[in-house]
């Protein structure tokens, strides 16, 4: 996630997750959802393209 290729969108991840710490981020529901959505938005894992549709609540909902 620290790759320079993702520097432009990484700040959105931190804002959605509410933290810059990856360990804290993944320890909370809000942070884990934000990380999952961010990772999917990068389209690095096309096999999961349909996995996080409307059925996953937003990162703000806990």
Euclidean distance between the first and final Cα of the chain, in Å?
Answer: 24
CA distance 55 to 20: 26
pLDDT reported for residue 19: 96
Model pLDDT for residues 16-60, shown as the tens digit of each residue:
999 999 999 999 999 999 998 898 888 887 777 766 555 555 555
Phi, psi values for residue 10, rounded to 5°: -60, -35
Model pLDDT for residues 29-38, shown as the tens digit of each residue:
999 999 988 9
- Alpha helices, DSSP H, located in 1-62: 7-17, 22-25, 29-41
């Amino acid at each position: 996630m620290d790759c320079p290729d993702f520097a432009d969108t990484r700040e959105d991840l931190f804002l959605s997750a509410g933290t810059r710490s990856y360990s804290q981020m993944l320890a909370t529901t809000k942070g884990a959802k934000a990380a999952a959505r961010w990772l999917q938005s990068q389209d690095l894992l096309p096999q999961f393209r349909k996995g996080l549709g409307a059925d996953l609540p937003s990162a703000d909902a806990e």
